[in-house]
């Protein structure tokens, strides 16, 4: 299978848990090579989808293919082609990074000592952990642990890398380094990153989907989605006390504190007057507009594209 042909096709995937929660409702997505962002609030269904892609749980309905491979068939071929970095993973605090990675490599079936040494060394270098390879994992920072998790996930050279909410708890420098690492990996595999943080996906992801309550609300290129909001996002700065009145009158999509004042973004297809000024939209505006369901056209366009 040539790399450039690989893409992940998710068709009509649904999942209802035993307690009646419908976590995924008829999800259909086409995920090309590169870094793909799955963006949504807590409880949206991201982890359920990620675990399903990682073959850790089964959907009630639907199909998933990675290139030619049927991901939902229990076969070794699938496990070989995917790497999964869960939200939280147990580490052995007393193990040295190099030793533990070597151990996981054995589990992954790389039994030849010489080739394992080569693989482990390359991964430690790629994830920027070579200098700390003799250190115990218990001494690692959050970012170092996450990068170690990527090194483990990359054993066996997966064509699909699934990364669930990876930036929680990382400091800003670590976060940037981690996202850059994922973006590099996206150059020759499918990398899916789930997150509730808009900035995680806004710069590095070539495609994104916004998910809420088990449904895909929007799918596509972030820049195009932002473009579609051109001329519709307005801003004003108010006292906090006047917010409730403003919310009655306008489609408020976000409010932010800035030096004690409140910066309000609203969605409006016409000039709302009242001291509002037009602003250049960004992905956060797309996210909140989509979540609030204000721009029906944005979402409907999306539905048509998904059905094609
Ligand atoms: P996210 O990763 O976006 O926060 P999840 O996939 O974890 O969302 O959860 C989606 C919904 O399914 C939530 O309402 C959550 O409470 C519910 N849920 C998740 N896992 C289970 C489970 N094992 N049993 C029952 N409900 C679950």
What's the pLDDT at 270?
Answer: 94
**103 CA → ligand 1 middle, Å:** 32
Q: What is the largest CA-CA distance in the chain?
A: 71
pLDDT in tens, 30-63: 999 999 999 999 999 999 999 999 999 999 999 9
Residue 43 CA to ligand 1 centre (angstroms): 6
Encode pLDDT of 63-93 as tens digits.
Answer: 999 998 899 987 777 777 888 887 776 678 8
The mean per-residue pLDDT over the stretch 234-260 comes to: 91
pTM confidence score: 0.88
**Which of 43, 87, 210 to probe ligand 1 with, by most ligand atoms within 8 A of CB?**
43
Ordered DSSP codes for 46-70: HHHHHHHHTTSS--SEEEEEETTEE
Q: Render pLDDT for 177-219 as a digit per residue (tens, 0 to 9).
A: 888 888 988 888 999 999 999 999 988 899 999 999 999 999 9
Pocket test for ligand 1, best of 13, 14, 19, 21 (most atoms within 8 A of CB): 21
| 281-307 pLDDT, tens digit each | 999 999 999 999 876 655 555 444 444
Does the pLDDT value for residue 20 go beyond 90? yes
Residue 123 makes CB contacts below 8 A (sequence gap 6+) with 101, 151, 154, 155
Cβ of 42 closer than 6 Å to ligand 1, yes or no, is yes
CB-count burial class (<10 Å; 0-12, 13-18, 19+) for 2: exposed
Of 44, 74, 39, nearest in space to 56 by CA: 74
Distance 23 CA to ligand 1 centre (A): 6
Say which residue the tokens 């079936």 belong to. Answer: 109
What is the C-alpha to C-alpha distance for residues 51 and 47, in angstroms, rounded to an integer? 6
> Which tokens is 18 given?
């035993």
**How distant, in Å, are the alpha carbons of 170, 236, 249, 271, 289 from that of 274?**
41, 9, 11, 9, 21
Instruction: Answer for the pair 84, 153: CB distance below 8 angstroms, yes or no.
Output: yes
* Cα-to-centroid distance, 46 and ligand 1 (Å): 8
Check if 56 has its Cβ closer than 6 Å to any atom of ligand 1. no
């Amino acid at each position: 299978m040539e790399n450039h042909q690989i893409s992940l096709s998710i068709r009509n995937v649904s999942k209802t848990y035993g307690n009646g929660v419908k976590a995924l409702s008829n999800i259909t997505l086409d995920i090309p090579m590169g870094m793909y962002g799955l963006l949504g609030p807590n409880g949206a269904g991201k982890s359920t989808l990620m675990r399903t892609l990682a073959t850790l749980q089964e959907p009630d309905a639907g199909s998933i293919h990675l290139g030619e491979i049927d991901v939902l068939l229990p076969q070794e071929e699938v496990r070989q082609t995917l790497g999964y970095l869960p939200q939280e993973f147990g580490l052995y605090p007393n193990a040295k990074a190099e030793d533990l990675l070597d151990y996981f490599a054995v589990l992954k079936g790389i039994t030849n000592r010489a080739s394992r040494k080569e693989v482990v060394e390359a991964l430690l270098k790629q994830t920027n952990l070579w200098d700390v390879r003799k250190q115990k994992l218990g001494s690692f920072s959050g970012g170092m642990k996450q990068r170690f998790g990527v090194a483990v996930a990359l054993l066996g050279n997966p064509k699909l890398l699934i990364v669930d909410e990876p930036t929680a708890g990382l400091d800003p420098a670590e976060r940037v380094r981690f996202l850059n690492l994922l973006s590099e990996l996206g150059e020759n595999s499918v990398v899916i990153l789930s997150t509730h943080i808009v900035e995680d996906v806004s710069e590095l992801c070539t495609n994104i989907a916004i998910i809420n309550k088990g449904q895909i609300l929007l799918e596509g290129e972030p820049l195009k989605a932002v473009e579609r909001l051109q001329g519709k996002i307005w801003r004003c700065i108010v006292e906090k006390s006047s917010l409730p009145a403003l919310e009655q009158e306008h489609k408020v999509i976000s409010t932010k504190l800035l030096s004690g004042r409140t910066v309000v973004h609203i969605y409006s297809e016409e000039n709302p007057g009242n001291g509002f000024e037009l602003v250049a939209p960004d992905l956060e505006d797309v996210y909140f507009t989509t979540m609030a369901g204000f721009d029906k056209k944005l979402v409907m366009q999306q539905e048509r594209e998904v059905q094609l």
